[in-house]
A and B are shown apart, each in its own frame.
Chain A
Amino acid sequence: MQGLKLLLTDLVIDFNYFVLFYFLVLNTIYLLLFLVSLREIWYFVRRTFFSDYQQIMQSEMTWPISVLVPAHNEEKTIVQTVRSLQMVNFGEFEVIVVNDGSTDGTLERVVEAFEMRRIDHVYRRSIPTAPVRGTYASLEHPNLLIVDKEKGGKSDALNAGINVSRFPLFCSVDADSIIEDNALLRVVKPFMEHPEETVAVGGIVRIVNGCEVREGRVNKVALPRSGLAVFQVVEYLRAFLTGRVGWSVLRSLLIISGAFGLYRRREVIEIGGYERSTDTEDLELVVRLHEHMRRKRRPYRIVFVPDPVCWTEAPATLKVLQRQRNRWHRGLLQSLWRHKTMLFNPRYGILGLVAMPYFFLFEMLGPFVEVVGYAAVLLSWFLGILNPGFFLLFLAVAILYGVFLSLAAILLEEISFRRYSSWEDLFRLLLFGVLENFGYRQMLALFKVRSFYDFLRGSRKWGKMDRTGFPERKRKEPVIERERARVVEEK
C-alpha cells in the first residue's frame, strides 16, 4: 500500500512538472503567434488602398469565380442567400446552388424566385458524386445555376458544384452565412498577386448573432445579448486574428473555414475534390492541398486574408454548441490521424515540423492534458502532496495568461477593423475575455475530451460507418439516363 502511494506520488509530481513544461511551451507559441499577427495586421490595415479593390473589380484580367452554395434543407434562407450573393461586388462570377437531396422546398423556392427552368446540362464529371437529378437555369439570371442531386453530404454537394463550375476559381459558401459585399474582391487579391502559387485563400469569419440583419446583409454590428454567444465572439476573434493570421504568415495555415473560402479549381480536382469520410471537409481539404503540393514539390501558397469576409450564426444553446465542437474536434482528430505521416516530416517544412506537431500535441491533446491536470490536482490534494500556495499561483498565471490572449485579440480588433463600435460592446468584450477563463474554457475542454472518446469508438467501426458511400440507387435507370451518364463521363 505504502509502495503504491509512493509510486503514485512520484507519478503525480512528474505529471505536474510535465504540465508546467507543456503550459510554458504552449503559451510561448501563442505569444509568438500573437506577435507575428500583430505585425501582419498592422501592415495589412495600413497598406490596403481601397482603390485596389475597385481596380480588381473593373479589370478584365481578374479571374472569374464560381460561387458554390451547397444546400440541404435550407428553404428558409436559400432565396435570400442567393439574392445577396448576386449583389456582391465583383466583375464576372456565377452562383451555383447545389441542392443536396433536400426534403423541404429548397429547390422549389429557388426555382420559383428566379424563374428557373430545367435544362439538359452537359458538364465535365471531374469528381465522382451521387447522381445528379437535374440542372436548372434562368433566362433572367444567366449566371445562376441549380444542380439538384441525391443526398451525399456537404462534401459531395461541393464536388458536384465543382463539376458544374466553369471558372478557374471556386468559392465555397455556406447557405446560411452572410457574405460581405467586398468579400470576393478581398480574397481574390492574393490570387492576383501570386497567380502561379496561390491555391486557397480564407478570410475572417464573424458571428452574426446580435447583429441587425436585413435581406441578407448585416446592417448594424452589435454583440449578442446571450453570454454564451459573446464567449464565442471572443473566441472567434482570438482564433482568427491571432491564430490563423499567424499560421498563414508561417505558410502553415491548416484551416480555411467552410463558411467561406476561395480555391483554385485545378488543384482541388487533382486531389479528387472534397473528402467525404471526415466530419470537417474544410480542414481535410486544406490539409490534403498542403500534402499534395508538397509531395509534388510545387511552390504554393495557402493564404489567410486578415479581413472580415463573412458572418455566420453561432450556436445559441449549450447542446448545439457541444454538438458543433464535438464535430469540429472529431474532424480534427480524423484529419490528423489520416495525415500522421506529415508529423515531424522535414519534407513538409514548417508545416511538418511545427504546425502539425502543434496541432497534434496542443490542439488535439491539449484538452486532454487540461482535464487530466485538474484530476491530478485533486489527486495530489488527496495524497497530501499539494502545495496550495504553488498551486494557486500557477492557476493565477494560467488564468491571467488566458486573459492576456483574449485581450490581445481584442486589441488587434481595435487597431484594425473595429466592427463593434459602441462602448458598451467593448466593455462586454473585455469582460467576457476575462470571464471565459472561468468555466467556458474548461467546458470546451470537456467537450473535446468527449469527442476524443467518440473518435476512438467511431474509428473502430469506421469500416461500417458508411456515411460516405452513395445511397443505393433504387430507381430504375432509364435508357435516357444512361446516355447522359456516358456524355458526362467524358473527362
Chain B
Amino acid sequence: MAERSASVLVIDDDPITLTFLSNLLGDKGYHVLKAVDGSEGLDLARRHRPDLILSDLVMPYHDGFEILGELKRDAILKAIPVIMVSMRDKEQDIVRGFDLGAEDYIVKPFGAHELLARVRRALRAARAGEALPASAQAELAKR
C-alpha cells in the first residue's frame, strides 16, 4: 500500500505523547519525524515536507495555532494536512483549530486505534486532493 511509506511529523513537547505516537505510527510502517517544540516542528516541516503533521497545541516557542497559521500562509506547505492533538477540549479551541485550517482535532486522552484511523483518512483525503487537476483544485478552494 502506498500509505505505508507516508511520512508523518509529530510535534509535541510532552515526551510521553511524542514517544507513544512515534512508536505507534512507526510500527504501522509510517516514516516518522519528531519535534519537541514549535520552532523545531516548523523547521522540520519546511525541510522535509511530510505528508501529514500531528501537532500539540500548548507548546513552547510556537504554539499549535501559530504553527497552523505559518503553514497555511506558505504556498507549498499549506497543502499538508494538520491534525491537532491536544489536552484542551474547550469548544472555542477546537473551533479555532478548524478555522485556522486544521484537518482534524483530536482531544487527549485519545483512543490509539481511532487516532490511526483518523490519520489514514487524512492521508487518503490529501491524496484525493492531489489527484485532482489543478483547475478542479482551484474550484474547490473557491468553494
Contact = CB atoms under 8 A, between A and B. Distances in A.
Contacts of A87: 58, 60, 63
Contacts of B39: 215
Interface in B49-76: 58, 60-61, 63
Interface string A418-435: 000000000000000000
B38 to A, nearest CB: 10
Nearest to A219: B60
Interface string A206-220: 000000001101000
Interface string A89-100: 100000000000
Contact of B58 (A89, A215, A217): A89
Interface in A186-218: 214-215, 217
Contacts of A215: 39, 60-61
Interface of B: 39, 58, 60-61, 63
Interface residues of A, number: 6
A188 B120 CA distance: 43
Query: Top 6 closest A-B pairs, CB basis?
Result: A215-B61, A217-B60, A87-B63, A87-B60, A89-B58, A214-B61
Contacts of A217: 60-61
Contacts of A181: 60
Which of A89, A181, A215 is the most central at the interface, judged by chain B CB atoms within 10 Å of its CB?
A215
A64 B85 CA distance: 26
Nearest to A54: B87
Contacts of B61: 214-215, 217
Nearest to B13: A181
Contacts of B63: 87
Nearest to A91: B90
A89 B58 CA distance: 8
11 contacts: A87-B58, A87-B60, A87-B63, A89-B58, A181-B60, A214-B61, A215-B39, A215-B60, A215-B61, A217-B60, A217-B61
Interface in A81-108: 87, 89
Nearest to B88: A58
B56 to A, nearest CB: 13
A212 to B, nearest CB: 13
Given A87-B58, A87-B60, A181-B60, 8 more contacts: A87-B63, A89-B58, A214-B61, A215-B39, A215-B60, A215-B61, A217-B60, A217-B61
Which of A87, A181, A214, A217 is the most central at the interface, judged by chain B CB atoms within 10 Å of its CB?
A87
A87 B64 CA distance: 11
A89 B56 CA distance: 14
Contacts of A214: 61
B121 to A, nearest CB: 29
A215 B39 CA distance: 11
Contacts of B60: 87, 181, 215, 217
A89 B63 CA distance: 12
A95 B100 CA distance: 24
Contacts of B58: 87, 89
A220 to B, nearest CB: 13
A78 B121 CA distance: 44
A271 B69 CA distance: 46
A148 B10 CA distance: 42
A87 B61 CA distance: 9
A181 B60 CA distance: 9
A214 B38 CA distance: 13
Nearest to B39: A215
A204 B58 CA distance: 25
A214 B39 CA distance: 11
B119 to A, nearest CB: 26
Contacts of A89: 58
B65 to A, nearest CB: 11
A181 B63 CA distance: 13
A181 B13 CA distance: 13
Nearest to A84: B60
A90 to B, nearest CB: 11
A222 B113 CA distance: 42
B34 to A, nearest CB: 18
Interface in A203-246: 214-215, 217
B2 to A, nearest CB: 39
B109 to A, nearest CB: 12
B114 to A, nearest CB: 22
A267 to B, nearest CB: 32
A140 to B, nearest CB: 11
A214 B60 CA distance: 10
B60 to A, nearest CB: 5
A260 B39 CA distance: 28
A214 to B, nearest CB: 7
Interface in A372-406: none
A215 B61 CA distance: 7
A4 B121 CA distance: 100
A201 B39 CA distance: 34
Interface string A358-384: 000000000000000000000000000
Nearest to A83: B61
